[in-house]
Chain A
C-alpha cells in the first residue's frame, strides 16, 4: 500500500506539477510562496492518501490543498502588499471543482524575454517541470549554489520589475511563443547531445524537453511551430538508440542500424510534420521536414539529398545562422560532391561565431577525408578534437584518426 501511494504521488508530481503550481501561483501572487504551498501539498498527499486512498483526480486534490494554504498564508502575512505583481483576480474552482488551466501563464512568465535565456531555461525546469535546483545544476554541470542563485535572481526580477502572470497580448504572441519554443528546444538539445561530460546524452533532460514540447503543443493548439517542434523532437529522439553502439561509441547517421530507430516515434513525428505543414512554415517546421526526409529513407543511400538541400536553403533564408549554414554544407556535399562543399565551407570559416565550434573542423575533416586529402583531414580532426568537450565525440574523432584514410 505504502508503495502504491508513493508511486501515485511521484506520478502526480511528474504529470500534475505544472498545473498545480500554475493554479496556486495565481492565488499566491508570489512564485516562492506558490512553490512552498505546492511542495507542502505533495508532502500532505503522502500522508493523507495513505489513510483516505488516492483521490480520483489527484491534480484537483493537490490544487485545492495548495491554493487553500496559499490563501491562509496571504491572510497571515499580507504577502501581497510586500511582494506583488503576479496578483490575479481570485480564483478559481468552478462549481464542479474544476480549476482553470493556468499553465500557459506559468510558461510565458518563466520564458519572459526580459529574463536572460539561461534564467528562462532554469526557471522553466524548476517551475514548469518541478525539478529541484540540484537536479537542474547536475543537468547543466554547474554548482548547485550557482543554479540556486540564478533561479533566485530570476524570481527576484519577476517580482521586482513586475513581469506579469498572464498570457501576452495577441500582437506580442508570435514573438513570445518563439521565445518559449526556443527554451523547449534548448532543453531538449542540451539533453540530446551533452555539451561536455562522459556521456553523449542526458536522457532525463531530453525526456523533459519532449514532455515540455507535448505540453506546449497542447496549450498552443493554433501554433504550427509548436506542432513542428514536437515533430522535430520526436523524429530526433527516434534515432537516439542508434547513435551510440554497444561499446558506448558514437555512430554517425550514415552507419546507424535503422532497424533500431523507434518506429512509433517516427510515425507520430511524421503525422505531426504533415499537420504542421498546414500552417505557414517557420524555422521548426523546416527543421522537422528535414528530420522527416531522413526518417523516411529506408537506407542511407535512399536519402533524398536534393530535397534536404532545398529545405536547408529555405531554412537559411528564414533563420540565417552559421550553424544552419554548416549543416547545409553537409547536404550540399551529397548533391554536388565534397569538393564543392569544401569551397562553400571555406567562406564559412571566417565567421567568428563558428571559430571554436567543434563541428566546423569535424565537418571539414570528413569532407577532406572523402576527397582523399588525408594529410589535411588529419589536421582538421586534430583541430576538432581540441574544441570538443564531450568525451564520446572526442573518442569518435580519435578513432577516425587512428583508423586512417
Chain B
C-alpha cells in the first residue's frame, strides 16, 4: 500500500463564470465521491482561491522574499486535494478519476517514505 496526493487543478475563471449554483452542485459531487471512497480517503480539503495565496522564496542571502500570488503562474491552479491510500498506481488512478474536477483535472503524486 502507498499513499498518494490527488491535487485538483481547476480554471478559476470558469468557476467565476459558472456562478454559485455550479459550485453548490460540485460540493454535492465531492460529498458523493468522499462517501463512495471513504475506505481509501486519508484526508482532503478545498483551498481558498489563488488570489489569497502567498508565496515565499529564499532570497539566497539567508532571507526570504514574500510575494502575493501562487508559486507558478498558470491558468489552472490547485483548488483542493485528497490524500488517499491505494495498493498501487492503477488503484490510485482509478480513485482519482472519480474526483470531481469539471473545470480542469487532477494530478496524482506518490507520497515519499511510506507517508
Contact = CB atoms under 8 A, between A and B. Distances in A.
Contact of A163 (B86, B88, B109): B88
Interface residues of A, dominant DSSP? loop
B2 A162 contact: yes
A98 to B, nearest CB: 27
A153 interface: no
Contacts of B90: 163-164, 166, 168-169, 172
Contacts of B92: 162
A160 B2 CA distance: 10
A180 B107 CA distance: 23
A85 B2 contact: yes
Contacts of B40: none
B26 to A, nearest CB: 26
Contacts of B93: 114
A162 B112 contact: no
A161 interface: yes
Interface string A146-164: 0000000000000011111
Contacts of B105: none
Interface string B1-44: 01010000000000000000000000000000000000000000
Contact of B110 (A160, A164, A168, A172): A160
A161 B92 CA distance: 10
Interface string B38-74: 0000000000000000000000000000000000000
A166 B91 CA distance: 12
Sorted nearest first, the 10 A-B pairs with minimum C-beta distance are A164-B88, A162-B89, A162-B88, A161-B110, A162-B2, A163-B89, A161-B89, A164-B90, A85-B88, A160-B110
Given A85-B2, A114-B93, A164 B87 contact: yes
Given A162-B2, A164-B89, A172-B90, 19 more contacts: A85-B2, A85-B88, A114-B89, A160-B110, A160-B112, A161-B89, A161-B108, A161-B110, A162-B4, A162-B86, A162-B88, A162-B110, A163-B88, A163-B89, A163-B90, A164-B88, A166-B90, A168-B90, A169-B90
Contacts of B2: 85, 162
A104 to B, nearest CB: 15
Contacts of B86: 162
A356 B92 CA distance: 39
Interface string B72-98: 000000000000001111101100000
Contacts of B89: 112, 114, 161-164
Nearest to B110: A161
Contacts of B109: 161
Contacts of A114: 89, 93
B90 to A, nearest CB: 5
Contacts of A160: 110, 112
Nearest to A159: B110
